[in-house]
Structure 1
Amino acid sequence: MAEDSGQERTEEPTSKKIDDARKKGQIARSKELGTTFVLLFSAIALLLYGPGIGKALYNVMGRMLSLNRNETYDTTKMFAVWGDIAAELLFPMAMFVFIIAIAGIVGNTLLGGFNFSWQAAAPKASKMSPMKGLKRMLGPQAAIELLKSVLKFVLVAGFAILLINMYFNEILHLSIEQIPSSIEHALEIIAWMFLALSCTMIIISAIDAPYQSYNHHKQLKMTLQEVKDEYKNSEGDPQIKARIRRTQREMSQRRMMQDVPDADVVVTNPTHYSVALKYDTERAGAPIVIAKGVDELAMQIRKIAKGNAVPIVESPVLTRSLYHTTEVGDQIPEQLFTAVAQVLAYVFQLNRFQKGKGKRPVALTRDLPIPDDLKH
């Protein structure tokens, strides 16, 4: 995609990109590191258990060459001989194989960690494509692998010649040593030479492991467009989200407007703010804000209130305080109880007067008891 768009991969890979790559089996791996671990620990295992294996082989050979006539022709005796052979070789060979197996697991998971992917294991037609295979063979990665192979050959061959020169006299001396000491000595020489040759792989691994990690990170880098597309896919298209929020806001406003006719009073700024209050003693212990708005929405609230004979009271400070400290559906703050109670008392007295059941109430004071920290 980056190649098709012509954009450069300049952005760091996101966590989603890294997780998706792991699911596909795309993680940093160094074959040289795994090989180095196997070779080094094989040499160590040979040093530890090589003499035991050599002694066991010597005993097995002696046992097999000393079979008597009865053991040769009696099949039951042969099974007993095989049991003796297994007893001799089982422990040293089992420990040797166990160490190599652990080294193989650790060496191959040290870079990138353990990861199993069904997607990577699944057969792919692209892997069988001759053209893609030729492209891989002639690509830059193939050139790097060729360079590593040449470097390995030069290092191993050079160290092998050096080691043969170092152990040349000891190797010749093996011909005059007595058995089984000569076998143990030969295995010891082989183990030390094997260990020294394996150490040459440390040089290759020290170069290859950082390179593989860097190359993997480079391949995971993303273009700016890929980052934007991923954000859209995971978080949603900003334009669609804005449209959804706008629709939700409009639906909320419609529901809010439907509740305005049920309000006991609408307090106003009077031009910029409007807040509709309802006091239902059965459902709440304090008045509730059932609608609020500024500017055009405030005008609509007042218009609906007038059309439904809902009292409108001008109280700029109280209106702004209610607007900024509550949301629709909230009870009014406790600090505003007294001020709102005075407004409701005035409205209830005004309703009684209009119905001819009481005298005209005293005009509502503009200096309502509102704490300074709630004034806006």
Structure 2
Amino acid sequence: MKEVKINLQFFAEEKTEKATPKKRQDSRKKGQVAKSTDVNTAFILLFVFIFLWLFGGGMVGQALYDFLRHNFQTYLLMDVTARNLEIMFWDIIVQVAVVLLPIMLMAMVAGVFASFIQVGVMFTTEPLKFNLKKIDPIKGAKRIFSARALVELAKSLLKITFVGVVVFVLIWFNLEDVMLISQKSVEIGFAQIATLTAQMGMLVALLLLLLSVPDYIYQRYDNEKQMRMSKKDIKDEHKNMEGDPRIKSKRKQKQMEMAMQRMMQEVPKADVVITNPTHYAVALQYDDQKSDAPVVIAKGVDFVAQKIKSIATEHDVILVENKPLARALYGQTEIGDQVPESLFKAIAEVLAYVYRLKNKQVGK
């Protein structure tokens, strides 16, 4: 028996169930989403090299040319002093920023776009929080020698191989032009190197983008696997969502009190209240324009029955004592229901008595 209990507990805690919407939402808040860094890398390279291909010669190339000319024509003629070094340092930083800023902005736009198409709009600081578990050497060793690490190693070797082949093939087909660069002017040589570099970059980016598709699929699979829940986890989640039993009880009690209050507000509208006389009370209303039979608008036992009779008396609603009918109405109907057909005859007699009584009171 003990072994059976252990096996049942094991199966209950085995993570075989898909993640619930709440688990997915909580994981997203923590930054635990399916995301491939290869997609980001590929888009950044592609956007940057397309930008260099389109605007590199006119914008970046000219800025780089002006930067080098200014350095050779100005800084080489300056005396080496502390003041001059400070001036050169800040001047070089500004000029480098002018050259690199458009490229960095394009890389940032590409990175944001790549992240957006993978995970949508998401901002969280949870991954930035300090966590001692992240520097646990035992867990670190497990990550290094895990199946995930082997997959990452295989991916890296595959990417290096393909990138190397692409670069080799491109240089091989342009080998003659590369060999003749030393015999050409600086401007022409620089332009050929820049063109060849841009072509390499775009081809490598397209290749990485192609390789990132299966990697993204794997990341989604791995993320789904990590988010799996056991049946016990799902039960615990439902309990937490429902809240503490005491709070749930109070909420239910409050709802019952509100329903009771609404029911008591309907009692003055009743045509008659049929009683037991002490334990049961059922209030009926009949409007031939709205329904074919009388409708139960309030009912109760014991304290609630006494409350219904008290309100009815205050508002001059007629009370009729009929023990079998009161019990039958209470047991066979709910609030808002029409009286059952089997009780039509008894109800008709009661209503006839009520209407005769009302007519006598009006006659007086």
Q: Which amino acid in the other structure matches residue 146 of structure 2?
A: G
How many Å separate the matches in 2 of 1:153 and 1:234? 49
Aligned partner of residue 12 in structure 1, secondary structure: coil
Q: CA deviation at 1:217?
A: 1.9
How many Å separate the matches in 2 of 1:51 and 1:290? 85
Aligned partner of residue 66 in structure 1, secondary structure: helix
Q: Aligned pair in 2 of structure 1 residues 239, 61: CA closer, same or farther (>3 Å)?
A: closer
Match of 1:127 among 125, 128, 134: 134
Q: Does 1:312 align with 2:321?
A: yes
Contact preservation (8 Å) 1:29, 1:111: yes
Contact preservation (8 Å) 1:41, 1:103: yes
Q: CA deviation at 1:316?
A: 5.7
Q: CA deviation at 1:162?
A: 1.5
Match of 2:163 among 129, 132, 156: 156
Partner of residue 29, structure 2: 23
Q: Which amino acid in the other structure matches residue 97 of structure 1?
A: M
Q: Aligned pair in 2 of structure 1 residues 84, 136: CA closer, same or farther (>3 Å)?
A: closer
Q: Does 1:145 align with 2:159?
A: no
Q: Does 1:100 align with 2:107?
A: yes
Q: Does 1:220 align with 2:230?
A: no
Of 28-37 and 190-199, deviating more is: 190-199
Cα deviation 1:239-261 (Å, max 9, x = unaligned): 996898599869989xx99xx9x
How many Å separate the matches in 2 of 1:27 and 1:68? 51
How many Å separate the matches in 2 of 1:167 and 1:292? 95
| More relative contact order, 1 or 2 (CA 8 Å, 6+ apart) | 2
How many Å separate the matches in 2 of 1:164 and 1:252? 82
Written as runs of structure 1 = structure 2, the 5 A alignment for 1:282-361 is 292=299, 297=301, 311-313=320-322, 320=329, 323-324=333-334, 326=336, 342-346=352-356
Q: Aligned pair in 2 of structure 1 residues 19, 67: CA closer, same or farther (>3 Å)?
A: closer
Match of 1:275 among 273, 282, 287: 282
Q: TM-score, normalised by structure 2?
A: 0.67
Considering only aligned residues, what root-mean-square deviation do their CA atoms show, in Å? 5.2
Q: Aligned pair in 2 of structure 1 residues 184, 82: CA closer, same or farther (>3 Å)?
A: farther
Partner of residue 15, structure 2: 9
How many Å separate the matches in 2 of 1:10 and 1:166? 53
Q: CA deviation at 1:342?
A: 4.2
Cα deviation 1:74-125 (Å, max 9, x = unaligned): 9999999999989987665432222112112222343123433333211111
Q: Which amino acid in the other structure matches residue 123 of structure 1?
A: F
How many Å separate the matches in 1 of 2:21 and 2:75? 71
Structure 2, unaligned runs of 5 or more: 1-8, 286-293, 314-318, 338-347
The share of aligned pairs that are identical, in percent, is: 31
Q: CA deviation at 1:17?
A: 0.7
Contact preservation (8 Å) 1:49, 1:92: no
Partner of residue 43, structure 2: 37
Aligned partner of residue 110 in structure 1, secondary structure: helix
Contact preservation (8 Å) 2:40, 2:114: yes
Structure 1, unaligned runs of 5 or more: 279-286, 328-337, 352-357, 359-376
How many Å separate the matches in 2 of 1:92 and 1:48? 15
Contact preservation (8 Å) 2:275, 2:320: no
Match of 1:195 among 202, 207, 212: 202
Match of 1:50 among 47, 56, 73: 56
Q: Which amino acid in the other structure matches residue 231 of structure 1?
A: H
Q: Aligned pair in 2 of structure 1 residues 9, 43: CA closer, same or farther (>3 Å)?
A: same
Contact preservation (8 Å) 2:39, 2:212: yes
- Higher percent of residues as helix: 2
